[in-house]
Amino acid sequence: MARVLNFNPGPAALPLSALERAQNELIDFQGTGMSVMEHSHRGKDFEAVHNAAIASMRELLGISDDYHVLFLQGGASQQFAVVPMNLLPQGRSADYILTGAWGKKAYDEAKNVGTVRVAATVEENKTYVRVPAQSELKLDPEAAYVHLTSNETIHGVQFHNYPDTGKVPLVADMSSDFMWRKFDVSRFGLIYAGAQKNIGPSGITVVIVRKDLVDGARKDIPKIFRYGTHAENNSLYNTPPTFGIYLIRNVMDWIKQSGGLGQIEAWNREKAALVYACLDELSGFYRAPVKAPARSVMNIVFRLPTEELEAKFIADAKKAGMVGLKGHRSVGGIRVSSYNAMTVDGIRQLVSFMKDFAKTNG
């Protein structure tokens, strides 16, 4: 059948050209007589792909030489443990800012590693609809780092300005917030992101980390979990997920061919604006819980008057070729994940459907 409009929250839609490129050479990569996933991770053919993926990411985001760019395994969920294993020495504490379920999970896991504090939480009535103001943060000036989740995929809450943490390194889970636009990497000590939202398939976690933090990180942990191990080996200490890295390379090339992150950002902002405008226009029918200043450009969540109507919305959308719109099982409702691979035209079709649905069922 024709490709559907895929609003999955991750694993998510990938750019068709990146997939077609993979399909065309899946059996014979660049005339080598084997698939890229059959190549040795230490051979020159794969190494060129690996280094191109890293170089493109550095170029597109403007990442300075003060940072390592690592491709790791285990997902953001593994980083919830690995960040404090590396950066939280015994006798010190780290601060966590909670704006949704993922930040809470990161905090809970860090407790299994060391001493952590909640520097701020905006949880109210068991949900999250905003980010804290700078004045609400109870930051420990001696903290080893401050952790936040820059975009909460489940709650649709996004930081559009990052807090000032003074000299304390800012660590961000950017899984659903990564590479949909250029941003100032130098504001962060460490950024991690699962690839399966904006840049690739599941199975790879990008870690961008300041070199001095790696140098000063704990060494009394298993070697495989030390950032230094992977930094020293250009993420080839052990066998990486080669096919996933290859697909990231393809997506990086697609971003460049599309005009770079400036163009990608413009599309993403246009898409989000279209959906939020529809929600505001039809606010008697659709209810967007997140406060305007924290509305996510990536994950747009809303409710309908009843759960029955939400179920009908999802079913009717599916008939119209639009899938992946169901909100996370923990919160319900509707979620529009609008990552890089979703086109402006796709969002226009969704908005048209939303208007028709409200008219028919409102």
Q: From the CB of 282, what's the least distance to a copy of itself, in Å?
A: 27
99 vs 242, beta carbon nearer a copy of itself: 242
Q: From the CB of 238, what's the least distance to a copy of itself, in Å?
A: 4
Compute φ and ψ for 199, nearest 5 degrees.
-135, 0
Q: From the CB of 49, what's the least distance to a copy of itself, in Å?
A: 12
- 93 beta partners: 115
- Residues acting as catalytic residues: 102, 173, 197
Q: From the CB of 66, what's the least distance to a copy of itself, in Å?
A: 27
For a copy of itself, the binding residues (CB under 8 A) are 1-4, 6, 8-14, 16, 19-20, 22-23, 26-28, 31-35, 37-43, 73-78, 80-81, 85, 108-109, 112-113, 194, 196, 201-204, 220-225, 237-244, 247, 321, 323-324, 329
Q: How many CB atoms lie within 10 A of CB 166?
A: 10
CB-based contacts of 58, cutoff 8 Å, min separation 6: 69
Q: From the CB of 290, what's the least distance to a copy of itself, in Å?
A: 22
131 vs 298, beta carbon nearer a copy of itself: 298
14 vs 61, beta carbon nearer a copy of itself: 14
228 vs 324, beta carbon nearer a copy of itself: 324
How far apart CA 300 and CA 173 sit, in angstroms, is 18
Q: From the CB of 155, what's the least distance to a copy of itself, in Å?
A: 18
239 vs 352, beta carbon nearer a copy of itself: 239
Residues in the chain: 362
β-strands 151-152, 157-158: how paired?
Answer: antiparallel
Compute φ and ψ for 93, nearest 5 degrees.
-135, 155
Q: From the CB of 65, what's the least distance to a copy of itself, in Å?
A: 28
165 vs 250, beta carbon nearer a copy of itself: 250
> Could you please report the per-residue DSSP string of 133-201?
-GGG----TT-S-EEEESEETTTTEE-SSPPP-TTSPEEEE-GGGSSSS---GGG-SEEEEETTTTTS-
Extract the tokens encoding 339. 């990552």
Given a contact cutoff of 8 angstroms between Cβ atoms, the answer to whether 289 and 127 are in contact is yes
Distances in whole angstroms, Cα of residue 39 to Cα of each of 26, 43, 49, 206, 244: 12, 7, 11, 22, 13
Compute φ and ψ for 40, nearest 5 degrees.
-65, 140
> Could you please report the per-residue DSSP string of 195-211?
TTTTTS-SS-EEEEEEH
185 vs 323, beta carbon nearer a copy of itself: 323
Strands (E), the chain: 5-6, 67-72, 93-98, 115-121, 146-149, 151-152, 157-158, 170-173, 190-194, 205-210, 299-302, 322-323, 334-337
